[in-house]
Chains A and B, each alone.
Chain A
Amino acid sequence: MNAPSASSKLDRSDARRHRSDARRQYWCDTFTLWRRNKLMVVGTFIILVLLVVAAAAPLLATQGPFDQISKDRLIPPSAQYWFGTDSLGRDIYSRVVYGSRVTLLIALLVAAISTPLGMAIGVLSGYFGGAVDEFLMRTSDVFLAFPKLILAVAFAAALGPGVENAIIAISVANWPSYARLARAETLTVKNNEYIQAMRVLGASNLRIMIGHITPMCLSSIIVRMSLDMGAIILTAAGLGFLGLGAQPPTPEWGLMVSDGRDFLVDQWWVSTLPGIAILIVVVGFNLLGDGIRDILDPHQRQN
């Protein structure tokens, strides 16, 4: 197990060996945590399926998403139309498959816009403090004073219908949480001796912020983002349902649920099945997010 060193000095090769041992142990533990956390495996699987379906949509769909076959309107799920058809004679299964692209697009773009934006504002705010901090934080407070969905819907309504506007609207509602988080982390890290040393060495503020502070915020931001993805998708679907996001004939899942409302009683499949797709994807992201948090959050690791 632990052989005593021959000399009392720790030589370089020992140090290197200890470091690579530690690193290997870290990844081993991470993998064990991942494997033991069966739910996270399920979550990862679901998201992978989503990615595959979105990428291979043309191959997996049985019809085009916009193809209307008037004689086959409102047909229940059958061998030909796996999820049935809607009021315009479109195959719901194919629309669900193509809808994965819309969902993924919205989720990824919102994350790609709001997370870096929020993080940048938060780091700036925390790093410079003073008037800049006050101004930025009061601004984000105002955004946070609204329930997220309401704000997103209000902006979506004002900007007009459409997927692009929906993305902007949701991003607007989303960035403040990241700003707060990044600011809190920055404040913790700002007076680290490590950062002081960088300053003494003459590194510019920009360099310190981008190169050193931001990486230190990353793990909690990533955890937050992965936990948020589900909420983003639900918001997007809500917008679609209200008629403010994707517009017909785009096969967006929320919109599809809304389409089926008038036929709920007798043609349940039009509304129900796209909703199940939303549920599964959000569950997947939530499981994945929980798992990522378990791995990255040092407190959890110690259990």
Chain B
Amino acid sequence: MAAEQLLSVKDLRVNFHTLRGVVHALQGVSFHINRQETLGLVGETGCGKSVTARAVLRLVVAPGEIAGGEVHFEGRNLLGLTEVEMRTLRGSQISMIMQEPKMSLNPVIRVGRQVGETLRIHDPSMSKKIAAQQAVDMLAQLGIPDPKRVARRYPHELSGGMAQRIMIAMMLVTRPKLLIADEPTSALDVTIQAQILELMNRLIQEIQTSVLMITHDLGVMAESCDRVAVMYAGQIVEIGPVRDVLKDPRHPYTQGLLKTLPDKAHPDEPLYSIKGAVPTLLSAHKACGFAPRCAHRFKPCDEAPPPMHALGNGRRAACYLLGDYAGVPG
């Protein structure tokens, strides 16, 4: 596919200044998303997924700061834009839906108005009536029954699934080019999760949006993503087409992650867990971040952080095991 890169992140670094010192939350994250494709960002809690999302939207606030790198959206470096320019992009070109839908909605404003607000922010000439009508239409598209009545409700009157549909409506009503979905189904009941995912996927196809799907759920990733990036301790350790990474993981961490999935073929076997704990990020990695927990650890792992090795077909992984050549960057 002659895909054009919609979003291109290069060597992104983010630091947080805390009571205990500087936490290096992102240590040189690089990836890209093409038009109309969904990239999954997978990893454990605390590996930096949400920070990446916020950094792309330039919503990293004190005590955090973007310490370096580039974020190119449709060719422009977002990190070089003024706040005003950034604001025109947010909500209209790049949107984000978050984990807790009920907390992400203003409790004292009716939900229909909140959906319409996105439209009126980016088109101040739009009348309230038209915005309200478009909001109701969007709710209908999301399969909400009796959308006119629901639009007049307050967030606390809605169920979790309904609230998430409102969120999705609110963020897709302007048909953005990029949607960041930060664990959109994690807070929902399992039965609702599938529904919402399906809804999202349908809409995304219709609007032809690219998606950065952040999740810790490998099942969600498998269903919704074209490509996937695996994150560990502030870095991307493996990236590639979903099917390839799932069938044939190359990085030991990815391999470990996949092993933790319960094996239906052998239901009585004890569940696997990767030994050790995630490192604190109080210092930048001087060596491979995963080495302390890796079964295949050997000398070069402790000397310097491994570069990304290209593995063909758009696959890359950061591991010294993947060959004893110096490693082709990027």
Contacts and interface: CB of A to CB of B under 8 A. Distances in A.
Contact present between A and B (CB < 8 A): yes
B280 interface: yes
B323 interface: no
Contacts of A1: 279-280, 282
B293 A4 contact: yes
Given A2-B292, A4-B293, A29 B276 contact: no
Contacts of B19: 29, 32
A8 interface: yes
Nearest to A6: B275
A15 interface: no
Contacts of B282: 1
Contacts of B293: 4
Contact of A8 (B275, B280, B292): B275
B277 interface: yes
Contacts of A131: none
A271 to B, nearest CB: 46
Interface in B50-83: none
A1 B293 CA distance: 13
B279 A2 contact: yes
Interface string B260-296: 0000000000000001110110100000000011000
Contacts of B276: 2, 4-5
Contact of B280 (A2, A3, A4): A2
A180 to B, nearest CB: 26
Contacts of A8: 275
Given A29-B19, A32-B19, A3 B292 contact: yes
B76 to A, nearest CB: 35
Interface in A1-42: 1-5, 8, 29, 32
Contacts of B280: 1-2
Interface in B235-279: 275-277, 279
A149 to B, nearest CB: 35
B277 A2 contact: yes
A24 to B, nearest CB: 13
A4 B279 contact: no
A1 B281 CA distance: 10
Contacts, number: 19
Interface string B7-26: 00000000000010000000
Contacts of A2: 276-277, 279-280, 292
B71 to A, nearest CB: 28
Contacts of B275: 4-5, 8
B234 to A, nearest CB: 14
Contacts of A32: 19
Contacts of B292: 2-4
**Centre residue among B277, B279, B293 by max chain A CB count within 10 A:** B277
Contacts of A4: 275-277, 292-293
Contacts of A29: 19
Nearest to B63: A303
A2 B276 CA distance: 8
A5 B293 CA distance: 10
A82 to B, nearest CB: 44
B293 to A, nearest CB: 6
A29 B277 CA distance: 23
A273 B280 CA distance: 55
A1 B277 CA distance: 11
Nearest to B292: A4
Nearest to B275: A4
Contacts of B279: 1-2
Interface string A110-131: 0000000000000000000000
A3 B293 CA distance: 9
Nearest to A3: B292
Nearest to A25: B20
Nearest to B278: A2
B309 to A, nearest CB: 25
A32 B293 CA distance: 33
A250 to B, nearest CB: 48
A261 B93 CA distance: 69
A32 B18 CA distance: 12
Nearest to A4: B276
A46 to B, nearest CB: 26
Nearest to B282: A1
B179 to A, nearest CB: 30
**Centre residue among A1, A3, A8, A29 by max chain B CB count within 10 A:** A1
A95 B275 CA distance: 70
A1 B280 CA distance: 8
A3 B276 CA distance: 8
Interface in B1-51: 19
Q: Which 9 A-B pairs have the closest CB atoms?
A: A4-B276, A2-B277, A4-B292, A4-B275, A32-B19, A2-B279, A1-B279, A4-B293, A1-B280
19 contacts: A1-B279, A1-B280, A1-B282, A2-B276, A2-B277, A2-B279, A2-B280, A2-B292, A3-B292, A4-B275, A4-B276, A4-B277, A4-B292, A4-B293, A5-B275, A5-B276, A8-B275, A29-B19, A32-B19
Given A1-B279, A1-B280, 6 more contacts: A2-B280, A2-B292, A3-B292, A4-B276, A4-B293, A8-B275
